[in-house]
Amino acid sequence: MPELVVPIRAIQVATRSTRIVSLDLSGQTFEFEAGQAAMIGLARQSERVPYSIASAPVDAIATRLLDFLIRIEPSGRWGHQFDSLDVDAAVGLQGPFGSFTLPPQPDEERLLFIAGGTGIAPIRAMIRQALIVGPRLPMRLLYSAKTAGDFAYLPELGEMAARDGLDVRLHVTRESPGAGRVGLAQLAPLVDDARTLCFVCGPESMVADVPRMLLELGIDPQRIRVEDW
């Protein structure tokens, strides 16, 4: 696929372990759907790594910026290099790809998003796209993170809850007594209509477990979408 070379316009701290990296698209076209991913990497190097696009398409058109939520970690994954990168560094951008997307006119009556960790990135894109251009359906978000300090976009999500009626539920897996992975106790209150379109994105364990629980709660498998590159 063809590659664009674009500069980093901003690097913002999202949480202690993640950064929001904004690429400047000015003068270049990059069309994508909410929920899709792209391959990115330092232009001076050959490595390209898949990351979900955190921007809604409508936002990217308005701002000419493309946002990614990058985890900074010492594991050797490419993202940890962002801790020392400067604005204006050149990045190679390929894509988009992926079928984990928000349909413009779904048949369902409501939307349920389940995110874990940096899995909030494509889901944030879908929610913002839906709020700005539709579909205007009731939306719920169950967002899971290890600790209370690991929720990215929390102020923005709070604004969307207060202003737009987004139903936001936060679940911490490690800090509180009885904490653990998302389970039926967290999902059941959010699944009160079988005509709910569900999106799941997060760690492998979440992507494996949550769809099974949604099936137990009566959601048709055709209404369960998972991010799977």
End-to-end CA distance of the chain: 16
When mean pLDDT is compared across 39-43, 101-105, 165-169, 171-175, the lowest value belongs to 171-175
Residue 19 vs residues 15, 73, 178: alpha-carbon distances, Å: 7, 11, 29
- Rounded CA separation 185/142 (Å): 12
Q: What is the pLDDT of residue 158?
A: 96
Which domains, from first to last, does the chain contain? 3-96 (2.40.30.10), 110-226 (3.40.50.80)
Q: How crowded is residue 40: how many other Cβ atoms within 10 Å of its Cβ?
A: 27
Which strands form 37-42's sheet, in the order they lie side by side? 49-52, 37-42, 90-97, 3-15, 18-24, 65-71
Q: What is the pLDDT of residues 143-154, one digit of tens each?
A: 999 999 999 999
Please state, rounded to an integer, the average pLDDT across all residues of the chain: 92
- What are φ and ψ of residue 192, in 5° steps? -115, 10
Averaged pLDDT, 85-102? 93
Dig out the tokens for 22 from the structure: 């904004």
pLDDT in tens, 27-49: 899 999 999 999 999 898 888 98
Residue 76 scores a pLDDT above 60 = no
**Confidence at 180, pLDDT banded by 50, 70, 90:** confident
